Amino acid sequence: MRRRRFCLAILAVALGLLSRGASAGTPGTIVITAEAVEPGDAFEANLRRAAVHSIKAKDGQWSMFFVAFLKHPPGATDVNIVFYDPKVKGEPVNVFQINTSPDAKGVSGSVSFGSEQGFKKGITYDVRLTRLIDGKEEVYARTTIALK
């Protein structure tokens, strides 16, 4: 748990480096990759090449990196990556908290998870970067990912 939070914190710091490239992405989308994409001049092109629509488990864990291009800044330091099974209405499978800047235009990070956290092989999950505001989910970006 501490290791995951440390990794997320490091990647949140990298957001400052990504903000230049993140602002040119399509607002409201999340790009998922199997490996981290280094910031630089060709960041967006490299991100597009590395994008995946499914991830395979390794040693019983699925791991993914993501870059979310937000519709608008979240206005808070904490947002969530939320996974929904589209066949189960209303309740998320799991939620991972991500630290960011209140005025961020993009958020990057990584998450690792396993079946003990409610995930199942063969399911395509809706993935959303969100924040709860007065009990209502505000969605800043979204995508889907299949677990293999």
Residue 142 is encoded by which pair of tokens?
Answer: 């979204």
Sign of CA pseudo-dihedral 78, 6, 52, 123: negative
Of 131, 128, 146, the C-alpha closest to 66 is: 128
The CATH code that applies to domain 2-147 is 2.60.40.10
| Sequence ranges of the domains in the chain | 2-147
Whole-angstrom distance, CA of residue 44 vs CA of residue 65: 14
Whole-angstrom distance, CA of residue 110 vs CA of residue 118: 18
Answer whether 107's CB lies under 8 Å from 129's CB: yes
Q: What is the pLDDT along the chain (148 residues), one digit of tens a residue?
A: 434 443 333 344 344 334 333 334 799 999 999 999 988 888 889 999 999 999 999 999 999 999 999 999 999 999 999 999 999 988 999 999 999 999 999 999 999 999 999 999 999 999 999 999 999 999 999 999 999 9
pLDDT tens-place string over residues 41-65 = 888 899 999 999 999 999 999 999 9
